[in-house]
């Protein structure tokens, strides 16, 4: 039987350079950043005690630890396309399991659901983009349907405004979804957790936060005490 020749996958110079930069970054971390935090990493070697659960989009331009200037061990992070939290159901998935662990086991005090400007996932939803070639993405984004329906019912000046509104509506929808999780409901009932809804603007670095009392987004810098859902008011306005 003749030997079958398999072609090797082609690797571009750009891909090689990117991986080289990633590895160089690790070496730089090992040489410079790690030694400066030896005590911190030693304290984290066998335990973690994050005070906040941060749920954000997988988008490479939004880095929770950078935006919030937090150190390793401060945030328990969940990232996915569209910063989505599926409602709790009979067959909970990875997001639900992570939320439950953060709230029930780690006992976080705050939960942040953070969307961002120019979100590809929300752009696809708002513009009804065909995703037949990405069926898994299409199915996943159905968890934003309630936000899409609300957004479609409103008037928008143009497509960018419609997409920006979709980003906001999605954060509100996910705040509602996360409250269907038993661990979150119990934590709210016991006054152990507060929910926050944020929108991060990539270009300006600003964050708008959802005010559950007024049902509007306000500047977080000017309203640092604002929250979406507290233990005293357990329903999104």
Reply yes or no on whether the pLDDT at 17 is more than 70. Answer: yes
- Mean pLDDT, to the nearest integer, of 190-217? 97
Q: What is the pTM of this model?
A: 0.89
Average pLDDT, the chain: 93
DSSP letter (8 states) at residue 112:
E
pLDDT digits (tens, 9 = 90+) for 74-121: 999 999 999 999 999 888 899 999 999 999 999 999 999 999 999 999
Per-residue confidence (pLDDT) for residue 105, from 0 to 100: 98
Q: Which residue has the tokens 């328990």?
A: 76
Q: What is the pLDDT at residue 91?
A: 85
Structural domains for the chain? 14-47 (no CATH), 53-219 (3.40.1050.10)
| Percent of the chain's residues with pLDDT above 90 | 87
Q: Which two tokens stand for residue 93?
A: 């998935």
Phi/psi region, residue 196 (left: phi>0; alpha: psi -120 to 50; beta: rest), is beta
Tokens 């997988």 identify what position?
58
pLDDT score for 90: 84
- Give the separation between CA 139 and CA 137, rounded to whole angstroms: 5
- Residue 7 pLDDT exceeds 90: no
Residue keyed to tokens 């997001």: 95
Specify which residues 199 forms β-bridges with: 115, 208
In the 3-class helix/strand/coil scheme, how is 189-225 assigned residue by residue? HCCCCEEEEEEECCCCCCEEEEECCCCEEEECCCCCC
When pLDDT is cut at 50, 70 and 90, the band that residue 6 belongs to is: very low
Residue identified by tokens 């926050």 is: 196
The mean pLDDT value for 160-177 works out to 98
| Mean pLDDT, residues 145-161 | 97
């Amino acid at each position: 039987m003749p030997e079958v020749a398999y072609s090797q996958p082609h690797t571009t110079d750009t891909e090689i350079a990117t991986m080289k930069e990633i590895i160089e970054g690790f070496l730089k971390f090992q040489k410079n950043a790690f030694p400066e935090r030896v005590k911190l990493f030693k304290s984290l070697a066998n335990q973690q005690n994050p005070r906040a659960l941060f749920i954000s989009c997988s988008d490479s331009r939004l880095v929770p630890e950078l935006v919030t200037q937090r150190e390793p061990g401060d945030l328990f992070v969940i990232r996915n396309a569209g910063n989505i939290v599926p409602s709790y159901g009979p067959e909970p998935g990875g997001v639900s399991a992570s939320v439950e662990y953060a709230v029930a086991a780690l006992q976080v005090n705050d939960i942040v659901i953070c969307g961002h400007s120019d979100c590809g996932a929300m752009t696809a939803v708002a513009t009804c983009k065909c995703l037949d070639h990405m069926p898994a993405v299409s199915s996943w984004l159905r968890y934003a349907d309630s936000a899409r329906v609300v957004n479609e019912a409103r008037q928008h000046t143009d497509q960018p405004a419609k997409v920006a509104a979709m980003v906001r509506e999605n954060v509100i929808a996910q705040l509602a979804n996360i409250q269907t999780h038993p661990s979150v409901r119990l934590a709210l009932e016991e006054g152990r957790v507060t929910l926050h809804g944020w929108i991060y603007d990539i270009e300006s670095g600003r964050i708008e936060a959802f005010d559950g009392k007024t049902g509007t987004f306000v500047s977080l810098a000017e309203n640092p005490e604002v929250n979406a859902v507290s233990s005293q008011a357990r329903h999104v306005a």
